[in-house]
Structure 1
Amino acid sequence: MCSPRIVRIAHETTTESARSSRRTWLGAAGLGALAAVAGGGMARAVLVPATGVVDLTHTLSPELPVWPGNPAFAMVQVAWHENGGFGQNAVGYWEHTGTHVDAPVHRVRGAASVERIAAEDLVAPLVVIDISARADMNPDATLDISDIEKWEGRHGRIPERALVAMYSGWERRLVNPGSFLNLDGQGRPHAPGFAGEAAEFLVTQRNIVAAGVDTLSLDQAATGEYRAHSAILGAGRYGVEMLANLGRVPAVGATVVVGAPKHAGGTGGPCRVLALS
């Protein structure tokens, strides 16, 4: 929550900005103050049919869960239609907020940053591997090589240069953000992810272009080793975390379009992800 003083300063400064320059507020207040701003209800991902275009993106809002210790998404109005004819907001968030891309440099120093992800790699065959039944019973479940083998037994070999997504059904917990984070008594989150061996297999044996999850981490959340991150990002592939609506797309046959951000040196960033089927 923000203090009344921060709200007053933001509004007074931005009113002055409308008279002179829209850039004044950002220079005077800085985006750092935005981390304290909260408000509005969280918009849920819209459930849509499994044909046509499916939005795999959660709507950013201050209530959307983030990795423990990270600040929530924040937004404050800085220009008004009544003063100058245009509305505008300033937004503040860490790169790995909401549905977002992990660029290789997120894990590997000196690796490719987000603007260096090849455009052709942002459009790929979409593979969805469902482990939701096991995740319902065990929040520390992992997508293992056996899950990949079972999937291929039903659907055939994973296509070359695919984005392979783990569907755990975790987004059902968003009705209670605390349940989505699922912290234990020591403050560690518990949620499903890729096993390190499975991530390595997908990179080396199936030549995937990216991996995705409907949780906050490519790895099982409670792990401290981050082997899935290392395998995927270390191989120059990218990740997409906190996907929505994976249960609404087919296991195979859809194409995914990842609208990744493009800021120089970025380790990732919020993105709009669409499945076309």
Structure 2
Amino acid sequence: MCNACLIDSVRESALSRRDFFRRSAAAGLAATAAGTLAARPALAQSSGKVVDLTYTLTPEFPTFDGKPGISLDPDKDYAADGYKIWKVSFFEHSGTHVDAPMHFAEGGLSVDNLTAESLICPLCIIDLKAKAAEDPNAMVEPEDIENWISDNGDIPEGACVAMNSGWGAKMGDASFRNDPEGNFAFPGFAKSATDMLLGMGVASIGVDTLSLDPGNSADFAVHYSWLPAGRYGIENLANLDGLPASGATIFVGAPKHANGTGGPARIMAVL
């Protein structure tokens, strides 16, 4: 299926699922009120090392729909005004960014209503590089989560579970977004895995790719289930190789504009 056809198909599906979103968003808000995301997470002990997980957002940065995600136009300049100001315009889902529940759930939490507590999380990183080397549309599956737990212990409630597929090595190349035939091709989460993480009280999931769902997804099953459940996602994480599988704390500098469906964010991890 061509990229434009896929986007149109998903748009039609979104309209047909409007009632589902209303019900799911209500359920997600109820879960939040119950304390799943508002509870203070168990933070890692810090040694003082900070790793920046954020890409610099430029007009050339790859986006899902292929349009430039940001534009910068001069508003004030040193010669004429004595100081410098840019007028910055960007699409919410550009660069390293947050997907708020409202992105796929009418009536869901907007980015400005994400609790501060849910934006500071123990970070659990699942290494998917071997699978992604074999399959560009590889997925984090329940078995990968079980293996992580076997090696590292339980995933803390309120954690951010991130996928490290090694996709950052492709940044700047067309293969970050597409296969040679022009189809979307990049790793993501399987719905069966995110359903499992919902049951564990995980606050967020993160990927080092363009989407929470794999590139060949025809239905955005993770977006349609994870976000309406009141959780949030992070896309285009950088520098995950600089962190261990467990032991770091992630700080999600989500934007706070009213009624936002998400937005570019400065993401830091502290060891």
Same fold by TM-score greater than 0.5: yes
Q: 1:85 deviation in Å?
A: 1.6
Query: Which digits, 9 at most, give the CA deviation of each residue in 1:14-40, with x for residues without a partner?
Result: xxxxxxxxxxxxxxxxxxxxxxxxxxx
Cα deviation, 1:34-81, whole Å, max 9, x if unaligned, reads xxxxxxxxxxxxxxxx97000000001111111124333211222111
Q: Does 1:181 align with 2:198?
A: no
Flag structure 1 segments of 5+ consecutive residues without an equivalent: 1-49
Which one is further off, 70-79 or 157-166? Answer: 70-79
1:265 to 1:184, Cα distance in 2 relative to 1, 3 A: farther
Q: Secondary structure at the match of 1:74?
A: strand
Write the distance in 2 (CA, Å) between the matches of 1:262 and 1:87.
Answer: 24
Alignment of structure 1 residues 144-163 onto 2, 5 Å:
144-163=141-160
Given candidates 214, 232, 238, the residue that maps to 2:208 is: 214
Aligned residue pairs total: 225
The question of 1:197 aligning with 2:192 is answered yes
> Where does the alignment leave 5 or more consecutive residues of structure 2 unmatched?
1-46
| Residue number among 269, 272, 277 corresponding to 2:266 in the alignment | 272
Task: For 1:160 and 1:150, locate their aligned partners in 2 and report how far apart those are by CA, in whole Å.
Answer: 18
Counterpart AA for 1:181: R
Deviations 1:91-116 (A, max 9, x none): 12210000000000101111111001
TM-score normalized by structure 2?
Answer: 0.80
Q: Does 1:164 align with 2:161?
A: yes
Contact 2:69 2:95 in 1 (8 A): no
Contact 2:61 2:68 in 1 (8 A): no
The correspondence for 1:239, drawn from 233, 238, 263, is 233
How does 1:1-277 map onto structure 2 within 5 Å? 52-176=49-173, 178-183=174-179, 185=181, 187-204=182-199, 206-277=200-271
Q: Give me the identity figure in percent.
A: 45
Q: Which residue in 2 is equivalent to 1:43?
A: none
**Letter in structure 2 aligned against 1:167:** N
What CA distance in whole angstroms lies between the structure 1 residues aligned with 2:67 and 2:225? 24
Task: Find the aligned partners of 1:184 and 1:224 in 2 and give their Cα distance.
Answer: 19
* Structure of higher RCO (CA pairs closer than 8 Å, 6+ residues apart): 2
Please provide the CA RMSD for this pair. 1.4
Displacement after TM superposition at 1:239 (Å): 0.4
Shift of 1:266: 0.5
Question: What does the per-residue CA deviation read over 1:154-189, in whole Å, with 9 as the maximum and x for residues that have no partner?
Answer: 00011111000001010100141x11111453x431
User: In the aligned structure 1, how far is the partner of 2:146 from the partner of 2:48?
Assistant: 26
The AA in structure 2 aligned to 1:203 is L
Aligned equivalents of 2:88, 2:251: Cα separation in 1: 24
Whole-angstrom CA distance in 1 between matches of 2:57 and 2:66 = 17
* TM-score (norm. length: structure 1): 0.78
Q: In structure 2, what residue type is equivalent to 1:241? A: E
Q: What letter matches 1:263 in structure 2?
A: H
What residue identity is the alignment partner of 2:213?
A: D
Contact 1:79 1:87 in 2 (8 A): yes
**CA distance in 1: counterparts of 2:168 and 2:223, whole angstroms:** 21
Q: Partner of 2:79: helix, strand, or coil?
A: coil
